[in-house]
Chain A
Amino acid sequence: MKSINSIDNFLRLPPFEIDENRKSNLFSAMMWKAYTFHYNNCPEFQLYCQKQHITPDKPAPALPQYPYLPVNIFKKHKLISVPENKIKNLLSSSATSGNVSTIYIDALTAKRQMLASSSITAAYLGNHRRPFLILDEDPLLSRSKNISARSAATRGILMFSDSEDYFIKNTTRGLVLDKNKLLRQLEVYENSREEICIFGFTYILYNYAIKFLKEKNITFNLSDKTKVVHIGGWKKLEREQISRKSFLNEIEMTLGIPKNNVLDFYGFTEQMGLVYINSGDSPKTVPLYAEIIIRDFQTLESVEEGKAGLIQILTPLPYSYPGISVLTDDVGRIIREGKDREGRWGTKFEIIGRAKKSEARGCGDIMSESMGKES
């Protein structure tokens, strides 16, 4: 248990204040502790690792040498590293098909997820609370099947809210945006100059709110401390040929919010708790608690800065399941290492897209399919 406690201490360190050299040794040590724990406690993971000849009786490998589990493995195998009676919660990924990842969460993992998620988010939003305008259904009133997965995705960020207003209604025509309510609330906050946070899935935020304001020529001048937080990926907007640049420009134009206050969150169920955020048009920064490796499509080797490949994320965070080294079906590239313009340390990267045929699994994708045309 001592080794696990030290991972918990590690997760209490600030996410972006430790430089790469210091992080490197610390992170490697934590990864090896986590690896050894899961190797010894999850028989399936042990078998998997043995076949790749990475065993705890050997010296710790370099990060690119850690075995990795593709995210799809969690759809087909029940992978648990603690006694089953310790499992408190099952996390399911959203998916358009019947195949969902199931992640087995115990109390310690849940605590770690919350700790990591809040530290990372606070580094971008600040520690104070503010009103949240949420472009989703109220989970308490919802009849949607997929609301639990969406709630899980948003739960972490609501720690930063002191009140929540929801603007999506479930009607016989599907989910619709309550435009009148949204306009009323935006007007209230424009007048009060109060700092707020507007939160939504990228496609919903753009297609049902920003586009509407733009088409109706309605503009607001919200407090310049207001943040827009969006999650769920760019796939659908890219299909509609909306570039990131025009997305940011239109938010600035309609809401009066500086581009750098628009925060794009990336994360996935298989490593819930870790979020990768970028503000405006800057790249995403990997927090202390994780490291990114980009794998070449042909050689599967880790590639150098600037080259595209499949995104692998390592983290010692998961305790109840062996999701410490996961290969995603997202394609990305590392931009650089070092500090960003706000002084955050960590590897910078960008997401280019998703491996072409892999199923759309984001909450936003599914929610947008359910959206009706008019409120």
Chain B
Amino acid sequence: MPIFLIEPDHSTLQNNSWHITPEIISSFPIINNYSAEINRLKKNTNSLLDVSVEERLDFFDALTENWISNPSNILNKYASLGISFLIPFLKRSNLCRLVKSALYGNIAFLDTFVEMTELGKKIMAHPRGLITHWLAGNIPMLGMISLVQGIISKNSNVVKLPLENGLVLPSLFADVNHFVSGFNSEKSHLWKNILESVLFVYCEKENMEGQKMLSKHSDVRVAWGGKSAVEQVLSLPKKHTADDLIFGPRSSFAVIGRNSLDIKNLENIALKLALDTSMFDQQACSSPHTVLVEKGGQVSPYDFAQALAAGMQKACRRIPKQPVSADEAYTVVNTRSEYSFSGEVFSSQGTEWTVIYSEEKGLADPCYSRVVFVRPIDDINEVVPLVNQNHQTLGLLLDDRRKVSFAKKITAKGVDRITDLGKMNLYDYPWDGVFPISRFIRWVSMD
């Protein structure tokens, strides 16, 4: 079973499907000599080492400006795939902050030796070499998070695409190429070369020889996906010097304190949480599935559930729901029916969204498909024992007096991010406990 090369163009898109199907696979060219292909990729990348980080940031910034100014094209094409999440991420101001925060406040470390007075020497951040990104199909744009950081840090990047939504990034890169080709500037050639540091491949999960090949060449292995997917990557042989960055399965939830919610802000807060729930149809690890509402405030947990239902309806207009499968539809109906016996169900007529109020304790098992559970708690500290390392993001609305103390306890148990409601899905850093770019570089020093 071979490793296939996937060129970033639109010709592979058949029947407007983003998925890699057996028919499409047979049309991909086979990489006969993967080592030679990697050498070629590294050669391309190395020829660009002098392209500064600033130049790279300019490139992504110009790209987003172009996309925003031509909204009918790119934004519509990728509307349901998370492009609205990607654009703010790619903006110069954001990427610059990201790189700075991972590099002790100075992005120039990626370009040259810089005096580090505390150490009494000069240091520099070199790329690790080759990063292989094993992507997940549920949120196709998420792979851009690690890929862009791989490009900025001057690494070579191999992107192992998933079957589900596997053609999204090659198509997006075809659009990036199109932008670069049409850009009337001397930078056009330079930017085109930046794209040459990326190679898209497909290799079947069962193709262990191919998977091993991908792994053995990697200096950093980045794995996005579910438990079995990331465990498979971790089980592959690797260079003893290679590093792993695992973005495995996590889930998220929200907590609202009793003194933080009143009649005035109820609608606004409910809408923010509804947008968090609706973005990516709860497929993201940062999507909330349960909202725990502390009793005793001006707004009861039940009233909040009702307000959240209204918010979900509004959010559905703003972020249209992706079609669900038979399995998802049945799961939604089954969950609604089950809770009709033991709680209160607020929902759309169809399978678009569901809010379930019940007085059960603990966090609900995620149902996905925009099904969110609202549960009352007597005190915010009841949440602490519920948390473990499988929990990634906590959307929190809590008075300042209790916030830091609560945050310390909850993050000690496993939560990596605490955000305001409405910001749960915004990619920020650290993510899953790490600054990814800091794992993509190798620090060197000189007296």
Contacts and interface: CB of A to CB of B under 8 A. Distances in A.
A72 B330 CA distance: 10
Nearest to A50: B340
B314 to A, nearest CB: 19
A100 interface: no
Interface stretch (A103-111, A269-277, A353-361): A353-361
Contacts of B349: 299-301
B218 to A, nearest CB: 32
Given A44-B341, A355-B329, A301 B350 contact: yes
Given A299-B350, A300-B349, A300-B350, A69 B327 contact: no
B262 interface: no
B50 interface: no
B350 A48 contact: no
Size band of the interface chain A makes with B: 20 to 34
A356 B325 contact: yes
Interface string A35-72: 00000000010011001000000000000000001101
A355 B330 contact: yes
Contacts of B330: 70, 310, 327, 329, 355, 358
A314 interface: no
A314 B345 CA distance: 23
Contact of A76 (B325, B327, B338, B352): B338
B327, B330, B337: most-surrounded residue (chain A CB, <10 A): B330
B334 to A, nearest CB: 4
A358 B327 contact: yes
A70 B327 contact: no
A310 B350 contact: no
A327 B333 contact: yes
Nearest to A51: B340
Contact of A356 (B321, B326, B333): B326
B323 A355 contact: no
Contacts of A331: 326
B334 A70 contact: yes
Nearest to A73: B337
Contacts of A355: 325-327, 329-331
A47 B329 contact: no
A307 interface: no
B250 to A, nearest CB: 20
Contacts of B352: 298
B328 interface: yes
Interface in B44-79: none
Contacts of A47: 340-341
Contact of B351 (A300, A308, A353, A357): A300
A358 to B, nearest CB: 6
A86 interface: no
A358 B328 CA distance: 10
B327 A51 contact: no
B334 A72 contact: yes
Interface string B328-362: 11110110011011000100011110000000000
Contacts of A296: 350
Q: Describe A's contact surface by its main secondary structure.
A: mixed
Interface in A276-311: 295-301, 308-310
A353 B325 CA distance: 12
A299 B18 CA distance: 23
Contacts of B145: none
Contacts, number: 75
B351 A70 contact: no
A51 B345 CA distance: 9
Contacts of B334: 70, 72-73
Contacts of B341: 44, 47-48, 73, 77
Contacts of B351: 297-300
A357 B340 CA distance: 23
A274 to B, nearest CB: 20
A297 B340 contact: no
Contacts of B350: 296, 298-301
A298 B329 contact: yes
Nearest to B322: A298
A110 to B, nearest CB: 26
A333 to B, nearest CB: 12
A70 B341 CA distance: 13
Nearest to A79: B341
Contacts of A329: 326-327, 330
A331 B330 CA distance: 10
Interface in A334-357: 353-357
A47 B344 CA distance: 11
A252 to B, nearest CB: 31
Nearest to B324: A297
A357 B351 CA distance: 17
Contacts of B327: 329, 355-358
B326 A70 contact: no
B329, B338, B350: most-surrounded residue (chain A CB, <10 A): B329
Interface string B389-403: 000000000000000
B329 A70 contact: no
A294 to B, nearest CB: 11
Nearest to A297: B329
A70 B337 CA distance: 7
B338 A310 contact: no
A73 B338 CA distance: 6
Contacts of B326: 297, 308-310, 329, 331, 353-356
Nearest to B329: A297
A368 B344 CA distance: 41
A76, A296, A298, A353: most-surrounded residue (chain B CB, <10 A): A298
Interface string B305-327: 00000000000000001011111
Nearest to A69: B337
B306 to A, nearest CB: 15
A306 B78 CA distance: 31
Contacts of A73: 334, 337-338, 341
A331 B331 CA distance: 13
Given A295-B329, A299-B351, 18 more contacts: A47-B340, A70-B334, A72-B337, A73-B341, A76-B338, A77-B341, A297-B324, A297-B326, A298-B321, A298-B351, A299-B350, A300-B329, A301-B350, A308-B326, A329-B330, A354-B326, A358-B327, A358-B330
9 contacts: A47-B341, A295-B329, A296-B350, A300-B351, A301-B349, A327-B333, A356-B325, A356-B327, A358-B330
9 interchain residue pairs of minimum CB distance: A297-B329, A299-B350, A355-B326, A356-B327, A355-B327, A70-B334, A355-B330, A357-B327, A72-B334
